[in-house]
């Protein structure tokens, strides 16, 4: 029973408050504050993400208009723009980063049985990064190129449910391959990446962790063929070979055998070549597994379009990371609600409906019970189709 509670208050019920309090206590987030607790800060920033507010003044104005409904959402008293700005600037962003990890673990458990379109018992992850451009004069700490600043979101995406398992925010000048040094690889899991991560010493660490890698080869890569496995050329496969690296230096970095699969996309005619250290999965499944890596690109496109992650409410490193982590928490929260309430509509549709309904007094389920989308109208406008990158 919602007992006349607003939608925003009901959404907060899906958050493990005890875990958030632990994160706040871990970093002394509420120490010596007179107003605007960390919980209230999180709630306000969650509201800003769900409704795509443009600025701190925009946030404060909208919440001020709903003053009588905020008490049950954990927001007490007046909300001052300067107080919210100070909170984002000074309160440790790790509070919200740690809490996002709690939500991520919960979402992964809910989506662990999802089908990714390939007969695969193991967990599959896609690695990639996206750059968010910033103004150099406002964000000098993130200096990237001569006339610009930027940050990178290095992401490990669980393909079951498209849940970001690991996210690391760095200045944009940090190379993608350094992300591999931060990961703890799960035995038996697949890690799918593009050519930017093709550094054999780091890839050998995946092999030594009893995990599997899938990556395209570079044009100048040289191999020595040990043996060939027959393939069905009608499927687009051209070869399936067991190879070793040719060259003294690279052979030292990756001293054991690899599997090289050559494939021609029947639709585009594009020729592709993949490396993997898995020798049991069918060759066509390896090719399709790499194709699913494009889901991480769709994830980046989605959060940039539908969350407040390209323009920031503060200019410090701490304020930017606070906003990024709360944006990720918002995405995960909507995914959790979709699964727990058994909502059949997409995450995009759920977010759009919530954005105009946060202060209504009705059960969340009723927002979607009678919702019928026009036939052939996509839930996600301008949805990208999976393709070979």
Q: Which pLDDT tens digit goes with each residue over 265-288?
A: 887 888 999 999 999 999 999 999
Domains recognised in the chain with CATH numbers: 7-96+312-369 (no CATH), 195-279 (2.20.25)
In this structure, the number of other CB atoms found within 10 A of the CB of residue 65 comes to: 10
Q: Which residues of 193-217 are buried (b: 16+ CB within 10 A; e: fewer)?
A: bbeebbbbebbbbbbebebbbbbbb
Contact 360, 7 (CB under 8 A): yes
Q: What is the pLDDT of residue 389?
A: 54
The low-confidence residues of the chain, meaning pLDDT below 70, are 1-3, 372-389
According to DSSP, the β-strands at 212-216 and 223-229 are unpaired
According to DSSP, the β-strands at 190-192 and 212-216 are parallel
Burial of 63 from C-beta contacts in 10 A (0-12 / 13-18 / 19+): buried
The residue written with tokens 């494939």 in the block is: 263
The residue written with tokens 């496109």 in the block is: 301
Taking the model in full, what pTM does it have?
0.89
Dist CA 226 CA 244 (whole Å)? 7
Dist CA 86 CA 88 (whole Å)? 5
Q: What is the pLDDT of residue 207?
A: 96
How many residues would you count in the chain?
389
Q: What is the pLDDT of residue 257?
A: 96
Dist CA 155 CA 59 (whole Å)? 28
The residue written with tokens 């990890």 in the block is: 101
Contact 272, 291 (CB under 8 A): no
Residue 280: HSE in the Cβ half-sphere, 13 Å Cα cutoff: 7
Q: What is the pLDDT of residue 237?
A: 93
């Amino acid at each position: 029973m919602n007992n006349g509670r607003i939608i925003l208050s009901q959404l907060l019920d899906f958050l493990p408050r005890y875990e958030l309090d632990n994160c706040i206590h871990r970093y002394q987030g509420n120490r010596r504050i007179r107003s605007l607790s960390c919980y209230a800060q999180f709630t306000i920033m969650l509201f800003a993400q769900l409704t795509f507010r443009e600025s701190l003044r925009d946030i404060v104005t909208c919440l001020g208009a709903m003053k009588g409904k905020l008490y049950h959402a954990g927001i007490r008293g007046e909300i001052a723009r300067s107080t919210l700005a100070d909170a984002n600037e000074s309160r440790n962003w790790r509070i919200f980063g740690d809490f996002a990890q709690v939500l991520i673990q919960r979402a992964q458990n809910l989506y662990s049985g999802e089908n990714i379109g390939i007969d695969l018992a193991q967990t599959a992850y896609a690695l990639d990064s996206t750059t968010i451009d910033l103004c150099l004069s406002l964000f000098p700490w993130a200096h990237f190129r001569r006339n610009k600043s930027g940050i990178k979101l290095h992401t490990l995406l669980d393909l079951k449910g498209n849940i970001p398992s690991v996210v690391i925010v760095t200045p944009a000048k940090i190379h993608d391959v350094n992300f591999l040094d931060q990961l703890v690889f799960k035995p038996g899991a697949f890690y799918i990446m593009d050519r930017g991560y093709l550094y054999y010493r780091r890839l050998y660490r995946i092999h030594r962790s009893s995990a599997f890698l899938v990556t395209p080869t570079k044009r100048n890569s040289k191999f020595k063929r040990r043996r060939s496995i027959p393939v069905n050329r009608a499927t687009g496969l051209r070869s399936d070979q067991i190879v070793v690296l040719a060259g003294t230096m690279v052979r030292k970095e990756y001293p054991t055998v690899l599997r090289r699969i050559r494939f021609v996309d029947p639709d585009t005619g594009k020729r592709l070549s993949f490396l993997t250290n898995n020798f049991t999965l069918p060759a066509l499944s390896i090719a399709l597994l790499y194709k699913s890596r494009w889901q991480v690109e769709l994830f980046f496109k989605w959060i940039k379009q539908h969350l407040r992650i390209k323009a920031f409410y503060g200019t410090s490193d701490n304020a930017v990371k606070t906003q990024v982590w709360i944006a990720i928490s918002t995405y995960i929260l909507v995914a959790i609600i979709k699964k727990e309430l058994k909502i059949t509509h997409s995450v995009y549709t759920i977010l759009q409906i919530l954005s105009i309904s946060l202060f209504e007094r009705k059960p969340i389920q009723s927002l979607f019970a009678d919702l019928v989308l026009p036939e052939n109208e996509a839930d996600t406008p301008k949805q990208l189709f999976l393709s070979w990158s």
